[in-house]
Amino acid sequence: MNNKEGNNKRGGSRPNSSRPNSNKPKPPMAKRAQGPKKVKPAVKAAEEEKAEKIKKQNQAPKRQKAADEIRLNKYISNSGVCSRRDADIYIQSGNVKVNGVPVTEMGYLVKLNDVINFDGAILTPEKKEYILLNKPKNFTTALDEGQEYRNVLELVRGSTTAKIAPIGRMDKNTTGLLLFTNDTDMIRKFTLPSQKSSKIYQVSLDKNLKFEDLEKISKGLVLDGHRVFVEEVSYIEKEAKSEVGLKLRSSNVKVVRAIFEHFEYDVLRIDRVSFAGLTKKNLPRGNWRFLTDQEIINLKNV
C-alpha cells in the first residue's frame, strides 16, 4: 500500500463508526430547580392572621387586671399543689374548673372568691407558709380571753399576712420548737395520734430519775387507758440525773408531763429540742424563721 492510499484511508469517512453525528439535534437540558413560589401579599397576610389566631386560641383576651384578681396558674401555685408551670399543663388538659366551668385559657384571671376545682379538689388561694419558732417561757398557745400570759402569735406577728396557727399546744412553762402554718393538712397530720414524726424533749425534774423508773419508761406505759410508746429515754450527758432526754412521737406536751408525773416526779421545765427532724440550730430563744423548701418537702414526706 502506498502512502497516498494510506492517507486517503485515514482521512476518509467511517460509515461504521459509533461516534454520534455532530449534526444530530441535542436533547433539551433539564430544568433548573425553582424556589417556592412567591406568595402574594394578600394571601400571606391572611395566612399570618390565621396562624396568630391559632396561637391565641388558648390565651385569655388581654385586659386590665383588677385589684382583686389573680392569674389562674398563680392561684393554683399559691395553694401549694404544684408550680405555675405544672399548673399550666393541668389547665391546658382541661383539669381545672372555675365556678364549675372548665377553663383551658392561659392567663385566665380569677377572683379570690371564685371556686377553683383542681383535678377534683377545691383549692384555697392563700400561699402556704411554714414558720419555726424557738418559744420562750411565759407565752402560751391558749386563746382564752382574759388570760394572764401572752399568746405565742405575738412572737411571729409581722412574719406573714396569712392566718397561721401553731401545730400542737404549749403551756407557759414549755419552751422550744413550735411550728406555725396555714396548711391545714399539715396541722391535721401532726396532731393525729397515729402520726409518725419524732419529737425530742429535754425534761428537768425536781429530783434525780431513778434508773429503774427510766427502764420502765423506756418500755412504754399506759396513761388514762391509752398506750404511750417511748422511742428513747436517757440521762443528759454531763448533767445531773434530773435532766432527762425523751424521744416520742406525740406532739402533745401534756403527755410528756404525764409520763413523769405517773412515777411521782414533778416536772419543772420541758424544752422541745427537735420537731420532726427540725432543730434549734442557729435559732435563738424567742426568734423565728421560715422553713426552707427542702424542710417543707421533708415534713410532707414524714
In this structure, are residues 160 and 129 in contact, taking their beta carbons and an 8 Å threshold?
A: yes
Report the range out of 24-28, 100-104, 176-180 with the highest average pLDDT: 176-180
Share of the chain above pLDDT 70, in %: 78
Q: How far apart are the first and last CA of the chain?
A: 116
Mean of pLDDT values over 266-276 = 95
Tell me which residue of 150, 184, 185 sits closest to 170, measured CA to CA.
150
Say whether pLDDT at 60 is over 50: no
Q: Give CA–CA dist 70/158, Å, rounded.
A: 23
pLDDT digits over 192-228, tens only? 877 788 999 999 999 999 999 999 999 989 988 888 8
CB 74 within 8 A of CB 80: no
Question: Helix, strand, coil shares of the chain as percentages rounded to 5?
Answer: 25, 25, 50
Q: What is the pLDDT of residue 18?
A: 52
**Helix or strand (DSSP H, E) at 190:** helix 184-191
CA separation (Å) from 76 to 83, 94, 95, 129?
Answer: 8, 14, 12, 15
Q: Catalytic residue at 171?
A: yes
Tell me: pLDDT of 296 over 50.
yes
Kindly tell me if the per-residue pLDDT of 94 is higher than 60.
yes
Residue 293 has pLDDT above 60, yes or no: yes
Residue that has been written with the C-alpha cell 392561684 in this structure: 75
- Average per-residue pLDDT in the chain? 83
Residue 246: phi and psi, rounded to 5, are -130, 130
| Catalytic-labelled residue, pool 171, 183, 213, 266 | 171
Place of cell 426568734: 287
pLDDT tens, 108-149? Answer: 999 878 899 998 888 877 788 999 999 999 999 887 645 667
- Model-wide pTM > 0.85: no
